[in-house]
Amino acid sequence: MAVGSAAMSNTAAEVVESDVFMLTGSNVSENHPIIALQMKKAVQKHGAKLIVVDPRRIEMVNYAALYLPIKPGSDVPVFSAMAHVILKENLHNPQFIAERTENFEAFAASMEKFTPEYAEAISGIDHQLIIDAARMYATAGKSAIYWALGIPESTHGTANALSLINLALLTGQIGRRGTGLNPLRGQNNVQGASDSGAMPWHYPGYQTVDNEQNAQRWEKTWNIEPGGLNRQRGLTTTEILSAVHPGGVQALYIMGENPMMSE
């Protein structure tokens, strides 16, 4: 893992403390309206500058200082071109890089080909917009990045996320209030539901169900008689569908989903 955690590095409320924040792969107004309100407040009342990178002209574009209308699937060239500009113009953070990162020289060499003009040919974004976005993000006192499923739900989703993470590590825009890497889950409170244990393989706090000490701890917490909690992990969605056979899953209760069509 690049930074050791897949969760937000900062709280959503901290966006009002950002000088610049970039939003990509997320129609935050519809999927995370409370966070969207914080973002609008950051722009309108606190003077933050918003960079939107999205194929769609989402509502948040109305609040953006820069809008980069990216072609689907060209995320890596665009964000790598931003890294190219940051390196070329010496806008990176040498102290942070030396103290907190590894293999910087190899990374810098790999970014050489990703010129803004190269990214423009692939993404359709004017190269000057890419340069402006890189400068705005790198030179701000506090910059943050927010993204949702438009980034990971792709054949190159991991590379997409890494290209964003590289920007934060390159500039030292992480580890302080108002900065950070902030992946938003698909819909409202997916993260909260996961944290609280609404998954088939863990209790609250991501404590695995097949660990005897965890089971005993939660039996005591929930006033359940000893041995009352099942020590076997439950099935994931894909495992459930594979287990629909005699002696396996006998019934499914499905709400708001059509797995025959969408999965």
Asked which of 152, 183, 214 is the last residue of a domain, the reply is: 183
Q: Is the dihedral of CA 151, 156, 158, 164 positive or negative?
A: negative
232 and 178 co-located in one domain = no
> Is 2 among the domain residues?
no
215 and 146 co-located in one domain = no
> Is 7 among the domain residues?
no
Q: What is the pLDDT of residues 157-215, one digit of tens each?
A: 899 999 999 999 999 999 999 999 999 977 667 777 888 888 899 999 889 999 999 99
For the chain, the residue count is 263
Q: What is the pLDDT of residues 121-139, one digit of tens each?
A: 999 999 999 999 999 999 9
Q: How many domains, the chain?
A: 2
CB 127 within 8 A of CB 117: yes
The CA–CA distances, whole Å, from 195 to 35, 84, 120, 202, 234 equal 18, 37, 40, 9, 17
Task: Quickly tell me which residue has 């200082």 as its tokens.
Answer: 65
> What CATH number is given to the structural domain containing 148?
3.40.228.10
pTM of the model: 0.79
> Is 103 among the domain residues?
yes
> Is 6 among the domain residues?
no
Residue 160: give the domain boundaries: 12-183
Asked which of 162, 183, 204 is the last residue of a domain, the reply is: 183
Query: In the chain, what is the straight-line distance between the N-terminal and C-terminal CA atoms, in Å?
Result: 27
